[in-house]
Amino acid sequence: MKSNLLGSAALAALLATGLSFPANANLKPGQYDVGGLEQICLVNDGTWYSPTFPSWHGLWQIVGNEDKAIIFGHFDDGLGDVGEDSMILEKRGLDWTEWPDDFSYTLFLDDTPITRVKKDCDAEAPVRRDLLRRRSPMHE
């Protein structure tokens, strides 16, 4: 997992009323909180980025009859924290796997909740080289 805050995330969306609904229900573009660890923005064109973790982005798509989605991507903080993420969203929640490019470890979160925060996403997180690197919450 990237040494900086999780470059990956989970989905158990909320209805407009604030109640939880099945993770697969109506996954659509917007900003999502993944397990309280990071946020991602799903864009209409099938891409995504993170407004909370710099240089973390990828692709997403609905698989089948909208009962499953895959979100995958790459992170590179410019300070040596480089790796990949794969998130599979099914009815029970999001399964999130992350690993560095050197394959020195693999982190996995099972049935991670994902919550739609808002329709219009915040901008992509800027790279802040003046800050100390954050350790991923998946390591704690």
Q: Is 138 helix (H, G, I), strand (E, B) or coil?
A: helix
Residue 136: per-residue pLDDT:
52
Reported as a single tens digit per residue, the pLDDT across 17-47 is 233 334 444 689 999 999 999 999 999 999 9
pLDDT in tens, 59-108: 999 887 767 899 999 998 777 788 999 999 988 889 999 999 989 999 99
Q: How far apart are CA 3 and CA 25, in angstroms?
A: 32
137 φ/ψ angles, rounded to the nearest 5 degrees: -65, -20
Coil, strand or helix: which one is 135? coil
CA 132, 109, 124, 82 torsion-angle sign: positive
DSSP string covering 98-120: EEETT-S--EEEEEE-EEEEESS
Q: Tell me if residue 139 falls in helix, strand or coil.
A: helix
